[in-house]
Amino acid sequence: MKKAERLTRIVVSLGMVFIIASCGRGNFSEKPPIHLNPNMDSQGKYKAQSESNFFVDGASMRTPVEGTVARGELREDDAYYHGKDAAGNFIPKAPMAFTDDMVQRGKERFNIYCVACHGVNADGKGKILFYKYPIPPADFFNERIKNLNDGHMFNAISEGWMNMPSLKAQVSVKDRWAIISYIRSLQQN
Ligand code: HEC
């Protein structure tokens, strides 16, 4: 076979392979695509809020079994987790000594979560006033606010306070105390 002929044969057969391989492109198919490496794409699973016919109440999302506490979730310390004493009153002072690290961490968190409303200077003049928030956020240098119990402040961050929203989903318990330590350090100046 001559060289040129061999070359022509190779080109033609390659061309045919391409034609066959590209057959069906652009055509619709009712069949599911061939999944060479399915991984976990098509495993049986429940999506959030979906229905389940396995559980009696039909809900796929389950609440914790009554009377049980997940490991590491036992929040017995009322002072630390709620800012309250055993009788349910707000504790006057935080249940730990404030350290410089805490104040630094608190400053960082305050500048993320509180400034928009309470202002960088903690004087209640945050950006939100520009957008006409109906109730002015607290000025941390106001005498009444200065005299608030640490426990009450903790509760305000956790549960919200009148026109202030709760921030417990965004700010961890540890960080809430750190923010309070920062506010207290500012108030001393
Ligand atoms: C969406 C705006 C907003 C954010 C964010 C916000 N606050 Fe407030 N905060 C307010 C408003 C408004 C008030 C006044 C509420 C009222 O008197 O109705 C307030 C009041 C307070 C008070 C006073 C409660 C009292 O007894 O009068 C404290 C303490 C406080 N905020 C702490 C914080 C801290 C700490 C953060 C950040 C972790 C924070 N707030 C984030 C809007 C906000």
What residue's CA is closest to ligand 1, atom 37?
Answer: 114
Among 90, 129, 146, 161, which residue has the most ligand 1 atoms within 8 Å of its CB, making it the best to mutate? 161
- What is the Rg, in whole angstroms, of the alpha carbon atoms belonging to the chain? 31
126-176 pLDDT per residue, tens = 999 999 888 999 999 999 999 999 999 999 999 999 999 999 999 999 999
pLDDT-based confidence at residue 73 (cuts at 50, 70, 90): confident
Helices and strands (DSSP H and E) totals, the chain: 7, 0
| Phi, psi angles (nearest 5°) of residue 23 | -60, 140
Assess contact for 110 and 185: CB atoms under 8 A. Answer: no
> Tokens 């009788």 map to which residue?
87
Cα 164 to ligand 1 centre (Å): 5
> Tokens 């108030």 map to which residue?
187
Whole-number Å distance between alpha carbons of 173 and 81: 7
53-69 pLDDT per residue, tens = 999 999 999 998 999 99
* Residue 70: alpha-carbon gap to chain centroid: 20
- 3-state secondary structure (DSSP) of residue 138: coil
pLDDT-based confidence at residue 22 (cuts at 50, 70, 90): low
Q: Kindly report whether the global pTM for this prediction surpasses the value 0.85.
A: no
Q: Assign domain 78-188 to its CATH architecture.
A: Orthogonal Bundle (1.10)
Whole-number Å distance between alpha carbons of 164 and 145: 14
Among 159, 164, 167, 168, which residue has the most ligand 1 atoms within 8 Å of its CB, making it the best to mutate? 164
pLDDT-based confidence at residue 21 (cuts at 50, 70, 90): low
